[in-house]
């Protein structure tokens, strides 16, 4: 089923969306963007599908949120983690 559609690497797709290539791979693993595997097991993406998503024909809002950097450190709901929270013995350690 050759449609003549150019196949893009995760790096090429990442550059178009301005995200890390690993983010594109996660999108594919989550089913948010279609991909095909080469005989060597590498992911490739149909250019037409990627362009459609870029033009707003697809829904990648949640996936784009997944690609944003996370806050460093614990959240307010979880509190501190690690040795600093281990007890009074470590109280001035950090």
Q: Are 43 and 13 in contact (CB under 8 A)?
A: no
What pLDDT is recorded for position 7? 97
Residue 80 lies in a domain: no
Residue 29 lies in a domain: yes
Residue 86 lies in a domain: no
What pLDDT is recorded for position 94? 55
Could you tell me the CATH number of the domain that includes residue 40?
A: 1.10.1660.10
Total structural domains within the chain:
1
pLDDT at 53 over 80: yes
For the segment 2-11, what is each residue's pLDDT rounded down to a tens digit? 556 899 999 9
pLDDT more than 90, % of the chain: 48
Range 39-57 burial, b when 16+ CB lie within 10 A, else e: eeeebbbbeebbeebeeee
Residue 78 lies in a domain: no
The whole-model pTM stands at 0.57
pLDDT at 21 over 90: yes
Which residues span the domain enclosing 25? Answer: 7-55
């Amino acid at each position: 089923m050759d449609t003549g559609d150019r196949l893009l690497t995760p790096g090429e797709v990442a550059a178009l969306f301005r995200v890390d290539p690993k983010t594109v791979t996660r999108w594919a693993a989550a089913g948010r963007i279609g991909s095909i595997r080469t005989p060597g097991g590498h992911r490739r993406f149909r250019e037409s599908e990627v362009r459609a998503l870029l033009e707003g024909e697809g829904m990648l809002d949640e996936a784009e949120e997944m690609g944003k950097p996370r806050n460093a450190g614990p959240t307010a709901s979880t509190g501190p983690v690690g040795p600093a929270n281990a007890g009074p013995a470590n109280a001035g350690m950090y």
